[in-house]
Amino acid sequence: MRAMVVRRYGPPDVFELQQAPDLQPKPGEVLIRAKAIGVNFADLMQRMGIYPGGPKPPFVPGIEIAGVVERVGEGMRAGDSDVCRPGDAVVAMPDFGAYAEWVAVPAQQVYRLPPGMPFEDGAAIAVNYLTAYCAMFTTGRLHPGDRILIHGAAGGVGTAAVQLARGLGLEIFGTAGPSKQDYLRKIGVQHPIDYEKSDFVDVIRKYAPGGVELAMDPIGGKSWARSYACLAPAGKLAVYGFSAAAGDSGARSIRRGLQAMLQSPRFHPFKLMEKGAAVIGVNLGQARARGSHLRDELGEIFRLYGEGKIRPVIGKTFPLDRAAAAHQFLQDRKNTGKVILTTR
């Protein structure tokens, strides 16, 4: 099988297309022939060597695939998965290893796709929509009429959050670069914010002087402190990334990483208690420990998809062997919505 291997930590050109031995599922695993592979910023962080607990080179990155079950390992127990038959269309979230034509995934991390859902849509939904759903509803507990600040609102998670927010009737503040302001308006952001021209804290104070009920921030560093300053009493800050530590070249930058760490705020319990605020860490790797709850949340997302209330935006697709170009495209913030790799 073909796989895209990260030979060493670094910029996108560290990828190498290699022929790897065909996989055999271990007990409790499902072997999937990949059709579409979601590209996430977590993959870039894995490649750069700044992903917490990430693999060491050489490795195959990637945490999201959609495809077809080929074989099922021995030792499957009832409740391990709702997908146990060859031929089933599925989406899966491995810890890494998704940039390949075949992927073996623990059964509890495999989910059946709704009938008729394209593989590209499946690979664009799981990580992005579950991240947004966990932040907004599982832990964020938002209600109709609440206000939300979404950083990177034109990206994969951002677009998912905007769609979910529209469905709940939230007042949406979203940040993006100058070329994406019209896109933000088109997808329903009432208060688009050009982060190159405007201070998002000033915009919040102008249009929501009482603050927002939830701020979603994957940036880190000083951005977390400034997003926290936008919270209403009893508001929540959801953190799910640390892009401030990424270097402009696409390689890890020790200087930028240290600077971002030093600029990150310290949230003292007494201050949180005084404001009634909360800081939420969203990590789907840890969320898998909730087992059936995560499966139920993805089922709710699929229900919304079936009713036409959400629809993933796929900004661009690349063939598997152009994973480096896909990473560069995402690194340069050229995407609106999801970036996908395909094996066809």
* Same domain, residue pair 215 and 331: no
Residue 336 and residue 153: Cα distance in Å, rounded? Answer: 9
Estimate the crossing angle of helix 41-48 against helix 323-331, to 10 degrees.
Answer: 100
Structural domain count of the chain? 2
User: pLDDT of 12-44, one tens digit each?
Assistant: 999 999 998 888 899 989 999 999 999 999 999
Give the structural domain span for 153: 140-281
Residue 85 has what pLDDT? 87
Rounded-to-5 percentages of helix, strand, coil across the chain: 35, 25, 40
User: Which residue type is seen at 12?
Assistant: P
Token pair of 151 as six digits: 């950083």
| Chain-centroid distance, C-alpha 61 | 14
Judge whether residue 174 has pLDDT over 90.
Answer: yes
pLDDT, tens only, 111-146 = 999 999 999 999 999 999 999 999 999 999 999 999
| Torsions phi, psi for 321 (to 5 deg) | -75, 0
Say if 294 falls within a structural domain: no
pLDDT number for residue 146: 98
pLDDT of residue 78: 46
CA distances from 128 to 79, 136, 181, 221, 311 (A): 25, 12, 21, 22, 12
60, 4 Cβ separation under 8 angstroms: yes
- Within a domain: 81: yes
d(CA 292, CA 294): 5
* Amino acid identity for residue 76 in this structure: M
- Residue 42: closest CA among 57, 64, 58, 59: 64
Residue 224 included in any domain: yes
254 or 83, which is more confident = 254
pLDDT of amino acid 241: 87
Per DSSP, the three-state class of 33 is strand
**Is 119 in the same domain as 188?**
no
Nearest in space to 327 (alpha carbons), one of 101, 121, 37: 37
Average pLDDT in the chain: 92
324 in any annotated domain: yes
| pLDDT tens string 305-336 | 999 999 999 999 999 999 999 999 999 989 99
* Residue 135 placed within a domain: no
Say yes or no: 206 and 113 in one domain.
no
> What pLDDT does residue 338 have?
97
> DSSP state, 295?
H
- From 74, 54, 68, select the one nearest 9 (Cα to Cα): 54
Residues 117 and 59 occupy one common structural domain: yes
Residue 79 belongs to some domain of the structure: yes
> Do 84 and 199 have their domain in common?
no
Residue 150 confidence (pLDDT) above 90: yes
Please tell me whether residues 107 and 157 are part of one structural domain.
no
What are the beta bridge partners of residue 39? 339
**Residue with the two structure tokens 């600040």:** 149
Q: Give the single-character DSSP code of 280.
A: E
Rounded to 5 degrees, what angle do the CA atoms 55, 20, 285 make?
30
- CA-nearest of 25, 60, 33 to 46 is 60
CA atoms lying within 13 Å on the CB side of residue 293: 11
Tell which of 281, 303, 330 closes a domain: 281
Selection from 313, 100, 273 nearest residue 186 by Cα: 313
Round to whole Å and give the CA distance between 251 and 245. 10
Task: Report DSSP letters for 246-264, one per residue.
Answer: B-TTSSB-HHHHHHHHHHS
CATH of the domain at 78: 3.90.180.10
DSSP 138: I
DSSP H/E element including 165: helix 156-168
Same domain, 237 and 319: no
The owner of tokens 């395909």 is: 342
